[in-house]
Amino acid sequence: MTGTLYIVATPIGNLADSSPRSVEILRSADIVACEDTRTSRTLLAHHGINARTVALHAHNEREAGEKLLRALREGSNVALVSDAGTPAISDPGALLVAAAHREGLRVIPVPGPSAAIAAYSASGFAADSFQFVGFLSNRKKNSLEELDVPWPVVLYEAPHRVLETVAALLEHFGPERELVIARELTKKFEEVARMRLADAPGWLAGAHRQDGEFVLVLGPGEQKRPALAEAERVLGILLEHLPASEAAKLSSKITGVPKKELYAIAVKRVK
Ligand code: SAM
């Protein structure tokens, strides 16, 4: 009999958010694979669990994963946890999970807290779908048009970068686009505030407002005409190689969207 790999969600601040099932799985697992064993031992100790812990983090996921796979093959049950929230959501774990699937091992999620889902559920944006982009790298910040979609977009951000990211969103999407800032979810200084992007820098300037952990939920953009959306995509590619007028002319020829409309967009993008 091979063992089971459990993907166990843990609290994002409030220890009372551990589900009874997650505690039971952590108690009965042969090995608890932790992003940081010291962090997870605090949670385990809170529940009186004295489990065998093994570190599995971004820098050792392959090697540690090999050892855990061997243990699973030999029949041990492994519970995977990250520092907070759901493993493999902007956290390590996906490589191990993929390898377990390749080997035909049983993979079972034990759902629970995730900062992205918590923030989105409290955003109040009514939509059939949303996009999760995790942390915006510098590369992604240079291509914010990819986030100009007609559904909400959920981002993680670090406290020392939140103001800079909000400023970039304001510059790109304009003052009227809505934003939800979810800060310190489930903790003592928790705040969830919905506002126009224009008001976000002022909100963040308040006392201690840039402390703690953040999820940003950008409100949905306008639904674009399909031809315009495609023309903007083509335009974006051409602008990497051509001046605005040439790029607008060619993308107009390719997609049929008026050149004038595309030129106006191109000028804004190269500004
Ligand atoms: N896997 C985790 C999850 O499911 O929530 C996310 C891990 S990611 C490395 C950590 C980021 O999640 C933080 O930098 C912050 O953006 C967000 N986050 C985690 N806990 C939070 C909280 N209590 N309030 C707001 N954001 C939080």
Domain spans, the chain: 4-113, 116-218, 226-270
Task: Give the per-residue pLDDT at 139.
Answer: 67
The domain 116-218 is placed in CATH, from the list 3.30.530.20, 3.40.50.720, 3.40.50.80, 3.30.950.10, at 3.30.950.10
DSSP 149: -
CA of 213 to the centre of ligand 1 (A): 7
Task: Give the per-residue pLDDT at 227.
Answer: 87
- For residue 259, what are its two tokens? 């050149």
pLDDT tens for each residue of 36-53: 999 999 999 999 999 999
What superfamily would CATH give domain 4-113?
Answer: Tetrapyrrole methylase, N-terminal domain (3.40.1010.10)
Smallest CA separation from ligand 1 atom 20, residue = 12
- One-letter amino acid at 185 equals L
Instruction: Taking each helix axis as running N to C, give the angle between helix 94-102 and helix 61-73, from 0 to 180 degrees, rounded to the nearest 10.
Output: 40
List of the chain residues with pLDDT < 50:
none
CA of 232 to the centre of ligand 1 (A): 33
Same fold, 4-113 and 116-218: no
- Cβ–ligand 1 distance for 35 under 6 Å, the answer no
- For residue 199, what are its two tokens? 């008001």
- Cβ–ligand 1 distance for 192 under 6 Å, the answer no
Q: Phi and psi for 184 in degrees, rounded to 5? A: 55, 45
pLDDT tens for each residue of 105-123: 999 999 999 999 999 999 9
CA geometry: angle 215, 7, 183, nearest 5 deg: 15
pTM to 2 decimal places: 0.86
Q: Phi and psi for 219 in degrees, rounded to 5? A: -65, 160
